[in-house]
Amino acid sequence: MKKERKVEEVKTLTERLEKAKALIFTEYRGLKVSEMNELRTKLRSENSWFKVVKNRLMKKALKEQGLDSLLADFTGPTAVASSDADPIGPAKVIVNFAKGHEKLVIKGGFMEGARLGADEIDRLAKMPSREELLAKALGSMSAPARNLVGVLAAIPRKLVYAINAIKDTKQ
């Protein structure tokens, strides 16, 4: 790789690090190309990216961002997964994919200024997605109004039942 290309790659990685909500580092040794493509496709559906990185270039990008605590994760073949929108999406995809493909090993990750271990990424993957949390919050907020409407609608309904009962007794 030419020096200009390396400088450009470090710049691209640095920009990705700035934008990313969470990073997940994996070792992919032994995965077939078709399996890697399958993983990339699944991550793309979650608006995430997955890239095999050169450790030396990634370490330079991490140093530029002041993330020296993550340097130890970059030994051996390493790929990085991340998303600019939802930190849980890529974690769910990677963890589920790793269950079916033993050769994909989760090394660690990074989210909101803290280094994550493989067990923490597993716990992150078990959390509900942003959309699920928003749906639950909306349901909780709309429940009192829905209950009030039900109570208010019951008053005229009971009046109609009472009038019907009177009509039936008069006939």
DSSP string over 112-145: TTEEE-HHHHHHHHHSPPHHHHHHHHHHHHHHHH
Rounded distance between C-alpha atoms, residue 44 and residue 36, angstroms: 12
Which of 61, 133, 48 is CA-nearest to residue 97? 48
Rounded distance between C-alpha atoms, residue 42 and residue 9, angstroms: 24
* Tokens found for residue 79: 């790929």
pLDDT of residue 139: 82
- Per residue, what are the HEC states of 53-71? ECHHHHHHHHHHHCCHHHH
**23 has pLDDT over 80:** yes
pLDDT of residue 1: 66
77-89, pLDDT tens digit by residue? 888 888 887 778 8
pLDDT of residue 159: 83
What's the rounded mean pLDDT across residues 2-27? Answer: 82
> Which region holds residue 36: left if phi is over 0, alpha if psi is between -120 and 50, else beta?
alpha
Rounded distance between C-alpha atoms, residue 167 and residue 153, angstroms: 22
pLDDT of residue 35: 87
What's the rounded mean pLDDT across residues 8-23? Answer: 81
Which of 62, 47, 57 is CA-nearest to residue 108? 62
What's the rounded mean pLDDT across residues 122-142? Answer: 82
Mention every residue, 6+ apart, whose C-beta is less than 8 A from residue 129.
86, 88, 89, 92
43-68, pLDDT tens digit by residue? 888 888 888 888 788 888 888 878 77
